[in-house]
Amino acid sequence: MRMTLPFLILAILTLAGGVAAMTLRRLVHCALALSVAFAGLAALYLNLDAEFAGLAQLLVYVGAIAILIVFAILLTRGGDSDAEKSFSPAGIGGAVIALAVFAVLAWATETSGIAHPALVTPPPESAMREIGLALMQRYVLPLEVIALMLTAAMIGAVILAVRERRNPAGTESAERPGLGA
């Protein structure tokens, strides 16, 4: 059993989206390329017979996180002109580290013996009924913890991002040291 053509196309689309998101200069283009990568990953999940995970990925990542990133770009754009300095001075070192990590991961995949036997497995039955039963019976405690964590994260995000009340005496400018100046 070999890799199929749809898998190759989706993998190339996902990787191209990821590379474009990490190398383009303008932030909005990066966000669009990032949503392409997320959509490609959702299609990969669908290709791997994980329908529910693929649709959740599409809803959460393409629908929510990409939009959130675009809003954050719009909210933090004022002072920054997207100039030449979009990569940090230690960029070469970071790229070398990432290449080394990829080399280690690919070596581990190649030598683990996973790549050689031809796995022939029937597609598992990921019926919605089974998923719902698993979430409600075996994984009900993690589900409740996730619900609590999402509530806490929502409250925390609102508290963090809300605009602080300005002091009437005008001391706000004194409380804002200009960083990087």
User: Residue 73: which of 60, 86, 84 has the closest Cα?
Assistant: 86
Nearer to other proteins, 89 or 170 (CB): 89
Closest contact distance (angstroms) between CB of 87 and other proteins is: 5
Burial of 40 (0-12, 13-18, 19+ CB in 10 A): buried
Question: Which of 55/168 has CB closer to other proteins?
Answer: 55
Question: Measured from the CB of residue 167, what is the shortest distance to other proteins in angstroms?
Answer: 15
Contact at 8 Å (CB) between 46 and 83?
Answer: no
- 38 neighbors 62 (Cβ within 8 angstroms): yes
Distance of closest approach, residue 36 Cβ to other proteins, in angstroms: 12
Q: Is 37 exposed, middle or buried (0-12, 13-18, 19+ CB in 10 A)?
A: buried
CA distance 57 to 64: 10
How many C-alpha atoms does 136 have within 13 Å on its Cβ side? Answer: 6
135 versus 171: smaller Cβ distance to other proteins: 135
Smallest gap from Cβ 19 to other proteins, in A, equals 6
Q: 117 vs 170, which CB is nearer to other proteins?
A: 117
- Which residue number, 88 or 169, has a Cβ lying nearer to other proteins? 88
Minimum distance from residue 168 beta carbon to other proteins (Å): 19
